[in-house]
């Protein structure tokens, strides 16, 4: 069963998201919804001038997902 994942680029910069072999490009403040097969995904979210966000997420059956990417300053 395929899973729906909604991604929101809550930044003022373009965002590139790599999930395993899938690449997605988002404009500033853009929201997109995709359908992906359940499984474990390594991801890398990057935008110019910012340290990339790296991680692994497991998408399971019967769940929908919403991810939001933003820039945090310290």
Per residue in 1-13, pLDDT (tens digit) is 667 899 999 999 9
* CATH number for the domain that contains residue 13: 2.60.40.1120
Please tell me the pTM assigned to this model. Answer: 0.87
pLDDT score of 1: 66
Residue 74 lies in a domain: no
Alpha carbon 54 to its chain's center: 10
Tell me which residue has tokens 């809550």.
Answer: 10
Please tell me the total count of domains within the chain: 1
- Tell me the pairing of strands 39-46 and 53-59: antiparallel
> What domain range is 44 assigned to?
3-69
The neighbouring-strand residues paired with 58 are 40
Other beta carbons within 10 angstroms of residue 33's beta carbon come to 12
């Amino acid at each position: 069963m395929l899973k729906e994942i909604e991604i929101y680029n809550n930044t003022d910069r373009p965002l590139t998201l790599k999930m395993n072999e899938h690449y997605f490009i988002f404009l500033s403040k853009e929201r997109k919804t995709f359908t992906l097969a359940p499984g474990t995904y390594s991801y890398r979210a990057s935008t110019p001038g910012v340290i990339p966000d790296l991680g692994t997420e497991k998408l399971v059956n019967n769940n929908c997902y919403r991810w939001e990417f933003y820039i945090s300053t310290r």
